[in-house]
Structures are given as C-alpha cells and as structure tokens.
Amino acid sequence: MQRKAAIWITGAFRTSPTGGVESLAGLPPISLHIQKLSQRAIYRTATLSDTHPLRSLFKGEHAKAANPALGAACWMSRDRQRNVCDAITETNAKLGTLTEIFSPCAEENTPGLRLMDRHHERVTFNSFDPKPEDALVMRRSLLDSTYRRAMSTRNTACCGTDCSVPKRTAHQATASFVIDQAHKAPITSTWVAGRVLSACAELFAIRSAIVRATLLEDCDHIIVFTDSMAAARRAVDPSVHSGQAHSLAVCKTLSEWFADKADRSLEFIETPSKLKWGLQQQAHSAARSLPPVSSGRRPATSLDGVRKHITQSALGAWGARFQDVDYRGSQFLVMNETKGTAITPTYANGGSWMKSVGEDTKLCTRMCRAILNHAPIGEYYRRFNIPEEFACTCGAERQTREHIITRCPNMNTRTRLPKLLNELIGFLQQNPNAFGFRSAPEGIG
C-alpha cells in the first residue's frame, strides 16, 4: 500500500523500485516507522500519573505510588525474563534512560488555578514578525526604546536569556541569563542544562532568570528578552511537556510574586539572534563561554532529547538501507548536497528531493522519473523490451539519461551530468519535454 502511495505522490512508473520511490516521496519503510513509534511510546510512560494502573506492573522507581502487582513479568527472575518479550518488560528496562520527572497532577496544573487562568492580563508576549522589509530595523528600535525606558525606572528588571547546545551528544547543553536593573550591577549566571534540546535549555534559562529577578528588591516589572517565543509560552504552561519542572517552578514563583502586589507584570519580548542585541547577545556569549562539559554516566535527559535520539536512529537506519542498490534501485541517480555530502532520504520538511520542486506537479514527476531512470526514453524501452524507438531524436543510436542531459543537441544544456539537485531541476525547467509526460504503453506507467 505504501508503494502505491509513493508512486501516486511522485508520478513514477509502476516498474520503479520501491525503495527509490519511497525515498523520493519521503515515506520511511513501514518497519522502521513502526519501530520508531514503539520506541517513542516507551518513554511516554514517564508522563503517566503516580497511581496509574500501568505503574503497578513496574518495579523500583518506575512504580511510583501505585500498588505493585506481584504477578507482573518484571518481578520474575532474570532467567525467566529472558524468555519473556512484552511491552512492560521492555519499558521497565529502557525507562531508566530518561531522568526527567513529570507531575501531571501538580497543583499549578489544576484548571482554574493555573497562572494564565488567574493572571493572564499580567503576562504579555511581544512576538517578532519577519514579513515587513524593515522588520529587523523596527525590532531593534523597539528593543532599544524598551531597554532605555526600563533603565530609567528603579522597579524594572531586564533579563536576557540564551542557551548553547553542543553538536556532540557526549557534551551537555548550557543555559545563561543576564539581569540588568537601574543603578545596580548586572547579574550573569551560566548553568549546565544536561543532554537536552535547545527548547528545554532555553526554558531552563528563562526559569533561572525569572526566579532570580523576583528576588530583587523593588522589582515590580520583569522584561525577558529571548530569541525563542515558543520557550517563553511554554514557561507559563504547567501542562505535561518536556521541561515541565521548569514551567512549574516559573508558575509557582510568579503566582507568589503576583500575589504580593497588584501592579506587578511580566513581559516576554522576542529578540532575533541575528540582531546580536544587548542583553540577549551577552547571554549568548555567556552560554558559549563554558568549555565542553562531559555528559557523564547518566546525565539529565529530557523527553524531547530521547525522542529526537530515537528519530535520528531511525533516519540513520533508513540512510544505511538507502545505500543498498537493491533497495533504491541500480539506476537511481545519486546526487550531492552543496557541502559535497550525498543526499540521504528524510521525511522532514517535505523530504530531501520533493521540497526543491515546490508545488509544480509536472516538474516533480519529471524529476522523479529522471532520478529513477524510469522515464519514457529509449534506454527504458530497450531495458523492458517495449516496442518503441530506442534511438534519440537527434540521431544518436541510444537515448540514455546521460546522453539527454550532457550531449543531446536538441536539449538546451551544455552542463555535465549534474551532481546537485538544483542543476537537474534547472535542466528540467529549460527542457519540459525531457523525461516528460509522453504516454507509455498500457500497464507500464
């Protein structure tokens, strides 16, 4: 069924190899997709309440407050567990990788008592709209005027937050904040955030900045300059999500801080990192100032971090399978990215190939047929013994893909066989009839 869907998406011939059309359409093999979903489902168990019935089947720290079911497989001896293969045993064995703790029934998450339910008018979000041509200029002017106005009063604290996530998983992320208040020395602090993604690290920085700012004397207004408005909105959301502990700490601190005075407020202002502006840039430099910190034997790991690792493993397995000629097809045109590395399949952002053609259906079909070398040309007719003309329209004895792209005088091109996807697309745009919609015999395409 997935093969039929991939052929329908790409417009390829029915004789095209399954792996090739799957890769072009951005559809991972079903076996890898199911394996990824099952592995990610294991760690969703950590978000269950402490008394959930499933926890009674676990032992140790994963059981929480649930009454243990002594007949569960996880209580068997190790020798017997080796002969048992079920979801509970696998979950109990792998759940220890995740160190993050969730509180789905926390008081701060009670409907009607949430921070935004009671004080939504005190928390504001100033997002950045990049559409206007002078958006960055206008944003810089807003940031400068807001900062000058805040520094002219004693009861306003400005906070800049940022994080740094290393490329190597052996190192931990860092989070930093800078707090500036009129007539007081700036406060800068940098923390190790663990093996987390940038969203959780930024959330940690926002939490640290807000908690520290509420402890300042004569502080009634807090302005947070951050380059991640998603993390800012998550900071005041106490529901179950990756980094919930940071959100609960922010909600609890702000609830107590707002209760002391009726005129206190909190404002988040999105600060694009490309501006390299003021406090946010200082926090950025501070986050990158620490040397690489090793993750250790069991670092703090977030739910999003574990899920991303599983997804990357699935994509890596797909990329390894793509290297097999029997999977992708012996005629698949392997191309390189701008950096020189071979293009590998992915399902994110429209896939590795399909995103380059946009919504042009005809161009997409011609591109897929050219890459797979399953197109209405002489080479294809000869390989499948189709009673059509094998010679090229220019008089060449064989009409091959390489001949069409590099040597055929009837085609508007003088380039070599392209190594980049953009070159192939440019050729097909100039030559819409190449690898086009010439109808093939019935039952072939």
- In this structure, the dihedral spanned by the alpha carbons of residues 224, 225, 231 and 237, taken in order and rounded to 10 degrees, is 20
Q: 97, 130, 157: which is the final residue of a domain?
A: 97
20 and 37 together in one domain: no
| Distance, first Cα to last Cα, the chain | 17
CA 69, distance to chain mean position in Å, is 38
Distance from C-alpha of 420 to C-alpha of 424, rounded to nearest angstrom: 7
Task: Answer whether residue 215 is part of any domain.
Answer: yes
| Whether 187 and 250 share a structural domain | yes
Residue environment code for 413-444, b if the CB has 16+ CB neighbours within 10 A, otherwise e: beeeebeebebbbebbeebeebbbeeebeeee
State the alpha helices, DSSP H only, in 238-360.
244-260, 278-287, 303-322, 325-328
**Total number of domains in the chain:** 3
Q: Are 139 and 147 in contact (CB under 8 A)?
A: no
pTM of the model: 0.84
**Per-residue pLDDT, 421:** 67
Structural domain range at position 385: 1-27+326-445
Q: Which of 38, 64, 97 is the last residue of a domain?
A: 97
pLDDT at 415: 53
Q: Are residues 114 and 253 in the same domain?
A: yes
Q: Are residues 75 and 118 in the same domain?
A: no
For the residues 199-227, what does the mean pLDDT come to?
95
The answer to whether the beta carbons of residues 181 and 216 sit under 8 Å apart is yes
Q: Please indicate, yes or no, whether residues 33 and 166 belong to a single structural domain of this protein.
A: no
Q: What is the pLDDT of residue 244?
A: 96
321 inside domain: no
At 167 the pLDDT is 85
Whether 213 and 281 map to the same domain: the answer is yes
Query: How much is the average pLDDT of 354-369?
Result: 86
Domain boundary among the residues 229, 260, 287 is at: 287
Q: How many CB atoms within 10 Å of residue 337?
A: 13
Assess whether pLDDT exceeds 90 at residue 126.
yes
* For residue 229, pLDDT beyond 50: yes
Q: What is the CATH number of the domain that holds 143?
A: 3.30.420.10
Highest mean pLDDT among 29-43, 69-83, 351-365, 429-443: 29-43
**Co-location of 146 and 115 in the same domain:** yes
Residues 209 and 334 in one domain: no
Taking the CA atoms of 344, 345, 350 and 353 in sequence, report the sign of the dihedral they define.
Answer: positive
172 pLDDT above the threshold of 60: yes
Let me know whether 10 and 148 are in one domain: no
Please give the Cα distance from 95 to 33 (Å, whole number).
20
Report if residue 416 sits inside a domain.
yes
Q: Is the pLDDT of residue 443 over 60?
A: no
Mean pLDDT of the chain: 88
| Nearby residues of 326 by Cβ (< 8 Å), 6 or more positions away | 19
What local confidence, expressed as pLDDT, does residue 440 receive? 39
Q: Do 363 and 349 share a structural domain?
A: yes
Q: What was the pLDDT predicted at 336? A: 78
Task: Specify burial of residue 377 (Cβ count, 10 A radius: 0-12, 13-18, 19+).
Answer: buried
Phi, psi of 302 (to 5 degrees): -95, 165
The two tokens of residue 218 are 């004569």
Does 293 reside within a domain?
A: no
pLDDT, position 392: 87
Does a structural domain hold residue 301?
Answer: no
CA distances to 35, 83, 159, 296, 311 from 307, rounded to whole Å, are 12, 28, 31, 20, 6
Kindly indicate the confidence band of residue 63, based on its pLDDT and cuts at 50, 70 and 90. confident
- Residue 403: pLDDT above 90? no
- The reply to whether 358 and 442 lie within a common domain is yes
**Is residue 204 one of the residues assigned to a domain?**
yes
Q: Is the pLDDT of residue 187 over 90?
A: yes
Domain annotation covers residue 296:
no
Share of the chain above pLDDT 90, in %: 58
- 126 and 51 in one domain? no
Flag whether 305 is in a domain: no
* pLDDT at residue 436 in the model: 66
* Token output for 163: 């994080």
| Residue bearing the bigger pLDDT, 316 or 69 | 316
